Structures are given as C-alpha cells and as structure tokens.
Structure 1
Amino acid sequence: MAKILVADDSKTEMAFLLDALKGTGHSIVTAVDGKEAEEKAMAEPFDLIILDVIMPNKNGFQVCRSLKKNPKFKDIPIILTTSKSGESDKFWGKKQGADEYITKPYEPVEILLAVKKYLGGA
C-alpha cells in the first residue's frame, strides 16, 4: 500500500479525487493549499503527490518546483491537476518537474491510470 498526498483547495474537487482513489487501497493524506502540501511533503514520506495548480498560498507549479529541487523528491512522482489546459501551461508544468499533467474536467479513470502508472496495481 502506497501513501499519496492530495492537495486541492476546492472541496468539490477534493471529494471527487478521494472518491476516485478510495478503492485503490492506498493511504491518502490531504492538504487544502500549496503551503500545507509542501509542509506535509517535507514532514513525512509519500510515494506519490497529486497537486492542483491553482491554490492559495503557493500554487501547484511553485510546490512542484520546490519539491523537485530537493533530492529527496527526485524519484517521487508528482501529478498536476488543473483547468489550465493550454499547451504553454502543460509545458510549464513539465518544466517545473511534474511527471504528469491532467486537465480538468477529467474522468476518474484518468487519475486511476496515472496512479497505476507510477505505483502499479489494479
């Protein structure tokens, strides 16, 4: 069982993500903004991090860049989820170190396939 950090400031999006992930058997820890996500990531080990891009205090791009600069997170996959769907946004997300960039709205299967890609399992 892997440990996943999920950060999103929208209660609706968070509920959607948690519902999608509930059957995976993974342990899920949540954060409601970028600052909290970064603090939790630094405080305990995670196998995967899912970040919304547009969040208060620190956006997902900033958190991703900050974490990926730290050698501790070099091999920890980060998935960005966002309504920012332009090619330049996707390019910027990858440039910040994101392993995956998923645009909203998305189907639960997209998140599950990305989780499976990085963590294995069904």
Structure 2
Amino acid sequence: MADDKILIVEDSPTNLRLIKDLLKTKGYKVVTAIDGEEALEKAVSEHPRLMVLDIILPKKNGFQVCRQLKTSPDTQDIKIIMLTSKTQDSDRFWGLKQGADEYMTKPFDNNELLANVAKFL
C-alpha cells in the first residue's frame, strides 16, 4: 500500500480531514489539494494512482479537472472517484462522461469509499 498514493481534492477543511484521516488509517499515502488548479499541478508532480475529486471547487471545477486529466497522456491513467454533494442523475452522467471511474455522493459511507478505493488500487 505504500506505493498507493491518493490525491484528495476537496475545498472543505472538514471533509478533507475526514477523508484524509480515513485513508491514512488504512495505510494509504495521501496528498491533498484545495482547488482545481492545485489538483492539476499535484496530479503531474505527485503521480498519484487515484484521485478523490470534489466537483464544486475554486478556480476549476471537478468536471474540468477530470476532463483535463483524462485527455492528457501523462495523467490519463489516474483513477478518479468523484465525491460530491451534486446528487442529480445528470451530474452523475456528466461526471462519468468526463472520465470519472466512479461517482459517489455526500454524505458518504466510509466503507463504500474504502471499497471503491480498494477496487481501483
């Protein structure tokens, strides 16, 4: 698991801490970003295997981040779990269409998030 680096992109300090603590207790190496531009930078510099990506973010939203990552040869292999408060079917459709590997809504179940992380790592 030491090589299973996960990038969490979340602008809410509370949610960021919850997700980070959950993943760290399971032995994952975690890096964080608080906006879409920082997410893109860290995706290139940190080479995570997986990203937990919020949609409603400053600077660039999660849809834009996902689309940009999935269309770049350097980052297209990063698995992306969108974790968002956007619960409409159209949001889920659009997230998956942008290239997300999974779409989860908040509030989230810890076990479901861990199962999805394990599925992609």
Alignment partner of 1:85 is 2:109: no
DSSP 3-state at the match of 1:4 = strand
The equivalent of 2:39 in structure 1 is 37
Q: Quote the offset at 1:19 in angstroms.
A: 2.0
Structure 2 counterpart of 1:94, one-letter code: L
User: Scaled by the length of structure 1, what TM-score is found?
Assistant: 0.93
DSSP 3-state at the match of 2:37 = helix
Structure 2 counterpart of 1:41, one-letter code: A
Structure 2 counterpart of 1:8, one-letter code: E
The equivalent of 1:95 in structure 2 is 97
Rounded Cα–Cα distance in structure 1 between residues aligned with 2:33 and 2:76: 21
> Which structure 1 residue ranges, 4+ long, deviate > 6 Å from structure 2?
none
Rounded Cα–Cα distance in structure 1 between residues aligned with 2:17 and 2:45: 24
Q: Quote the offset at 1:118 in angstroms.
A: 0.6
What are the within-5 Å matches in structure 2 for residues 55-94 of structure 1?
Answer: 55-94=57-96
RMSD across aligned positions (CA): 0.9
Structure 1 counterpart of 2:120, one-letter code: Y
Q: Percent identity?
A: 54
Asked whether the 8 Å contact 1:7–1:30 carries over to 2, the reply is yes
CA offsets 1:31-88 (integer angstroms, 9 cap, x no match): 0111101111122311111111100001111000000001222322101111111110
Q: Where do 5+ consecutive residues of structure 1 fail to align?
A: none
Structure 2 counterpart of 1:71, one-letter code: P
Rounded Cα–Cα distance in structure 1 between residues aligned with 2:16 and 2:46: 20
